[in-house]
Amino acid sequence: MTKPYPDPQLTAAGAIERARAAAPSLARPTIKERVAHLARLRSAILARREEIIDVVQADTRKSRSDILVSEIFGGLDVVLWCEKNAADALADEKVPTPLTMMGKKSLIAYEPLGVLLVISPWNYPFYQAIAPIALAIAAGDTVVYKPSEHTPLTGLIESLLEDASFAPNWVQIIYGDGAVGADLLAQGPDKVMFTGSTATGKKIMAAAAEQLIPVELELGGKDAMIVFDDVDIDRAVAGALWGGLTSTGQSCTSVERIYVQDGIYDVFVPALVAGAQAIKQVVDADGDGDIGGMVTEAQVRVVAEHIADAKAKGATVRTGADWDGSNPLIPPMVITDIPGDALIASAETFGPVLPVYRFTTEAEAIERANASDFGLTGSVWSKDLDRATRVARALRVGGVSINNVMATEATPALPFGGVGNSGMGRYKGVAGLRAFAHAKSMVIDKDSSVIEANWFPYTKEKHELFTQMMLAWFSDRADRLPRFALFGTKLENYSKKARR
Ligand code: NAD
């Protein structure tokens, strides 16, 4: 039975104002004190894991193991990373002060941003709540969190936060659809972290621009898996099955295009077909099932449209061809002979579909993988690590796994995000945690009596000395430092005397 936190009747009206009023009570405690709440949250999640799986499964039709592995384990990973790393990542960072500014100290102070608006999609409703909340709390930001209307997990997150003794309004869960999200954004949060479709991401960015609100956009993907002919085929097939089918293919980083090199294509495809046929699909009660069903009817329709279009354009559906086009338990579908103009070749399918393409050369694989408007993540498979690394570096994406799949997002120390239509900004890791903070640059000058040489008055003599000092400082001469010291001292002495 879930408990209400802080108030089950919270509505969008005044939410950002309430979060702003609560902000000082979160910014005041030390990072250590803040992450102590995250430790309690971790304990609550561990203790209540079965209940969490029940609630997520009821909203998503996922298999219990999918929820355990990706949503709960993944969320805990981010929480624990924050506990262990936030204090260091957000500590004042000393940076070098140039000799030209001798006697001063330069540092970056990472301060809370204020109020973070988090708008999430329906595909990982637990993870997409816990990960940004953990990072925001570690950074000292209060959160207004709007889950997808399709997967509200009603009452669950509030109840876990209550167990973790979060103060009221540190995190508010505001339920509702896109209009509620738009209303919250219009209230002027200090930043918006949006995860969802590219189309909505563009609307969010346009609305945020009106108020110059910074955005993090984690959008869609069309991730490529490039398999060279020297791989362990069984392992690569197992990777393709998991990468394409986990969460029933409803992951932003799902494998959506599998490029297999000529030499193994005719062995790889039958092995993939056999593996797809062996997937156990059930909305299970005990963890004994690989994948469940689709979360929304709308996404079922998208998959049906992609499959019908591919079939009409001559593609071969090698498994799951008897799917009726409407059952949310869409069977894994291996598809080959896909023409370039098929929807499935370029648009995000977001379902349990494994399109396989044949390629010959390394250059061709890179070119075809990069021929996408999306650029979230990808994977490269080869025993030749030099080649795999070379190809990985050539891909226009936010992250690449080598000889693994969806592994970059499973590493909480790595920043996560994409390029192109996959969005902008990074969250997670040090860079992602700092993205939820305000980097304030500071210069501390201990010496209060010296009048700086670059301050007024400007005179002809000062101009000449400054020129000599500059020529020395920026030159490549062996004696640049002594010359800099000589003209720098002269300039300083002159400046002291030149006061009007
Ligand atoms: P969506 O864009 O339809 O909705 C996402 C969220 O935005 C929902 O909470 C929705 O209510 C809200 N919303 C809709 N219109 C809005 C508006 N005008 N103003 C403010 N909020 C608004 O996306 P979805 O269908 O829920 O999710 C699927 C998409 O999410 C896929 O494209 C998938 O690739 C993407 N996704 C990306 C990542 C990532 O990290 N890159 C992760 C998961 C999902």
Nearest to 164 by CA among 44, 18, 302: 44
491 lines ligand 1 (CB under 6 A): no
State which H helix or E strand residue 419 sits in: strand 419-420
Q: What is the DSSP letter of 346?
A: H
Classify burial at 211, counting beta carbons within 10 Å of its beta carbon; exposed 0-12, middle 13-18, buried 19 or more. exposed
- Ligand 1 atom closest to residue 184's alpha carbon, by position in its atom list: 20
For residue 197, the CA-to-ligand 1 centroid distance in Å is 4
293 lines ligand 1 (CB under 6 A): no
Backbone angles phi, psi at 323, to 5 degrees: -60, 140
Tokens encoding 66: 């999918």
For residue 295, the CA-to-ligand 1 centroid distance in Å is 13
- CA end-to-end distance (rounded Å), the chain: 77
Q: What is the DSSP letter of 95?
A: E
For residue 194, the CA-to-ligand 1 centroid distance in Å is 7
Q: Is 252 a catalytic residue?
A: yes
For residue 417, the CA-to-ligand 1 centroid distance in Å is 14
| Residue-level pLDDT at 3 | 54
| Residue-level pLDDT at 1 | 42
Nearest CA to ligand 1 atom 34: 220
Nearest to 273 by CA among 337, 224, 311, 317: 317
Nearest to 146 by CA among 114, 172, 110, 109: 172
| Residue-level pLDDT at 10 | 81
Tell me the pTM. Answer: 0.96
351 lines ligand 1 (CB under 6 A): no
Tokens encoding 431: 């860079």
Q: What is the mean pLDDT of each run of 10 residues along the chain (500 residues)?
A: 60 97 94 97 98 98 98 98 98 95 95 98 98 98 98 97 95 97 98 98 98 98 98 98 98 98 98 98 98 98 98 98 98 98 98 98 98 98 98 98 97 98 97 98 88 93 97 96 96 84
Nearest CA to ligand 1 atom 13: 178
Nearest CA to ligand 1 atom 35: 196
Task: Exactly one of 158, 252, 256, 362 is catalytic; name it.
Answer: 252
Nearest CA to ligand 1 atom 38: 252
252 lines ligand 1 (CB under 6 A): yes
151 lines ligand 1 (CB under 6 A): no
CA distance 236 to 220: 24
348 lines ligand 1 (CB under 6 A): yes
Nearest to 100 by CA among 490, 494, 356, 473: 473
| Residue-level pLDDT at 394 | 98
For residue 455, the CA-to-ligand 1 centroid distance in Å is 52
